[in-house]
Amino acid sequence: MAEITKEDIRKPENLIYKKTDLLTDKPLSYCPGCGHGTAHRIVMEVLEEMDIQDKTIGIAPVGCSVLAYEFMNIDMQQAAHGRAPALATAVKRLNPDKFVFTYQGDGDLAAIGTAETIHACNRGENIVIIFINNGIYGMTGGQMAPTTLPGMKSSTSPYGRDVHMMGNPLKMTELVAQLPGTIYVTRQAVHTPANVRKTKKAIRKAFENQKLNKGLSFVEIVSNCNSGWKMNPVQANEWMVENMFPFYPLGDIKVND
Amino acid sequence: MKELRLMKGNEAFAEAAIRAGADGYFGYPITPQSEVMEYLMAEKPHERTGMVVLQAESEVAAINMVYGGAACGKRVLTSSSSPGISLKQEGISYIAGAELPCVILNVVRGGPGLGTIQPSQSDYFQSTKGGGHGDYRMIVLAPSSVQEMADFARLGFDLAFKYRNPVLVLSDGAIGQMMEKVELDEQRPRFTEEEIIKNTPWATTGKTKDRERNIITSLDLDSAKQELHNHALQAKYKLMQEQETRFEMISCEDADYLIVAYGTSARISQKAVDLLRAEGIRVGLLRPITLFPFPTEIISKLADQVKGILTVEMSAGQMIEDVKLAVGCRVKVEHFGRMGGIIPSPTEVVEAMKTKIIGG
């Protein structure tokens, strides 16, 4: 039997997967093992599959994903820290035929942007909010976040989060699920292929809701931060499953179909 | 056809914004400017022109809604009063950094802190020297009548889009609350989608296959590029200084003494000029209409003509620093003002001119 060469394999008919054109070729600025890259990819794949990329405006936050616009090949705005839902509110109201989403981390969405998040959700703005929760401020070097677990160490809780002194972690997703303006609230993860598929389905549902003018869809993705957690990627994912998921259980929290 | 109406300054501004073809207003209630949003809500501009009016959860959210709307090439505005404008400074800095056009109205009240709800001019430094972080400037228009409240809504949009820069209309509680007759412009249509794509090709309208993606940001982590961006901003501000300086001169031709005042203080000072001239003292009034760019050149020229200059401001004396920069040390420059929401009377200004400049 003749030896199969790389050239034989790289034929168009053998192609089973290709990076979406909605991701640029710029190397990701995220740490190896971080969930952001996967989350970026599936958001962009959903836009491509729905063929709405030319009608979509994304809002990037402040945090690790501040440079999301470098990687997402669509029109984007970069917001001040926590203000993405305010920008998205105006963008959607002034352009009701466009698709609008925010992509925010936990510090951005659940601390400094709490008011903007809650009120955009409560008004039922017809937008999608993608919330990446890794329980830490990654970009600034691993400080305590509103979502940092009790006892969890960070650079500003070096002996572990003492809830009596530092307050409790905020379950923002459960909180916004109680508001009448949210139509779909779910918590997912991207650490295994099965979870990636589920999360992508959730994101697709969120954008389909927007297409039908149903209201605000809120998709939390519990993610790892191996650098901030001072672990290697495998350890970080294991730690996430053992510690983050019991506190932030995965699954749909509110589905108003 | 222009239309003549009797209106409050705040209402005139709101009506003029609709007629200027505004796409969106985002605000939060605060005295003494709440009539802006009240008027807009009552007018149902979504039925008149399709304009969006939204009461935000805070001044912070409102200015960030303005950012989002402006980034789509829309004509958007917000209004507030001093404490609320302080809250908006973060957003204004981002808007200036990302070079977005918008109009912001500040109906100034006395401070610092919660201060008072009465008129003041104590936000001059904040308005003209930056306010938020970073090296940036806004075009600052200072109305002294209800008519100018209306005129500057439209002029503000036109200048904002000409320079891709925020424009601040710096009013005060007196101009915002008082009623005068006002001549309103005809309705100008809102931008169409085609006009936005043609006139503001940088706007985020959705990336079509025929162009690269549009990104609205104030961030560039490469310091060399960020410095270049700052140089470009400074060049733009210089161009504004060359092209957009506006002022009014009243009785300056034969003046031996000069008053420099804007807004409400200019109205009071105009009366003081009449009173002083009735006594045979030849006084003129220079009223800056743009506070940035500041009318430095004309004040410098007048400094060669007059024996002394009095600045009248409802503050501890803020604009006087720019007047002194224009004058150098050629003639005496003194400040007269009231603070905490007190409006000076014309006779107080006459007295100040006599004691601080003529006899001083």
The one-letter code for the residue type at A156 is T
- Paired residues of A210 in beta bridges: none
User: Phi and psi dihedrals of B3, rounded to 5?
Assistant: -125, 135
SS3 B181: strand
pLDDT of the residue at A68 = 95
Query: Domains of chain B by range and CATH?
Result: 3-193 (3.40.50.970), 247-358 (3.40.50.920)
The span from the CA of B277 to the CA of A154, in Å, is 72
CATH C-level class of A31-255: alpha beta
Cβ neighbours of residue B330 under 8 Å, at least 6 residues apart? B303, B304
| Beta carbons of A30 and A3 less than 8 angstroms apart | no
Task: Please tell me if residue B207 touches chain A, with a CB cutoff of 8 Å.
Answer: yes
DSSP element (H, E) containing A107: helix A106-107
Asked if B64 and A56 come within 8 Å (Cβ–Cβ), the reply is no
Burial of A6 (0-12, 13-18, 19+ CB in 10 A): exposed
Each residue's pLDDT tens digit, B252-284: 999 999 999 999 999 999 999 999 999 999 999
d(Cα A192, Cα A198) in Å, to the nearest integer? Answer: 10
pLDDT, tens digit only, all 360 positions of chain B:
789 999 999 999 999 999 999 999 999 999 999 999 999 999 999 999 999 999 999 999 999 999 999 999 999 999 999 999 999 999 999 999 999 999 999 999 999 999 999 999 999 999 999 899 999 999 999 999 999 999 999 999 999 999 999 999 999 999 999 999 999 999 999 999 999 999 999 999 999 999 999 999 999 999 999 999 999 999 999 999 999 999 999 999 999 999 999 999 999 999 999 999 999 999 999 999 999 999 999 999 999 999 999 999 999 999 999 999 999 999 999 999 999 999 999 999 999 999 999 986
Is A222 exposed, middle or buried, given 0-12, 13-18 or 19+ CB atoms closer than 10 A? buried
Q: Given this model, what pLDDT does residue A212 score? A: 98
Give contacts of A74 with chain B, Cβ < 8 Å: 206-207, 213
Residue type, A164: H
C-alpha closest to that of A120 among A139, A147, A92: A92
Q: Do A83 and B208 count as a contact with CB atoms less than 8 A apart?
A: no
Contacts of A95 in chain B (CB under 8 A): 72, 205
How far is the C-alpha of B350 from the C-alpha of B339, rounded, in Å? 18
B56 — contact with chain A (CB < 8 Å)?
yes
| pLDDT tens-place string over residues A163-175 | 999 999 999 999 9
- Does B89 touch chain A if contact means CB atoms closer than 8 Å? no
The answer to whether residue A1 scores a pLDDT higher than 70 is no
Residues of B in contact with A77 (CB under 8 A): 67-68, 71, 204, 215-217
**Best B216, B225, B226 residue to mutate vs chain A (most A CBs within 10 Å):** B216
Q: Is the dihedral of CA B218, A104, A66, A207 positive or negative?
A: negative
Quote the DSSP letter at residue B188: P
The candidate with the shortest Cα–Cα distance to B219, out of A150, A139, A199, is A139
ipTM for this prediction: 0.96
Phi, psi (deg, nearest 5) at residue A145: -110, 170
pLDDT band at A11 (very low <50, low <70, confident <90, very high): confident
Q: Do B67 and A78 touch (CB under 8 A)?
A: no
From chain A, which residues contact B within 8 Å (Cβ)? 53-57, 59-60, 66-67, 69, 73-80, 83, 86-91, 93-95, 98, 115-116, 118-119
Its pTM stands at 0.97
Q: Give the list of residues 6+ apart from residue A48 with CB closer than 8 angstroms, or none.
A: A20, A21, A22
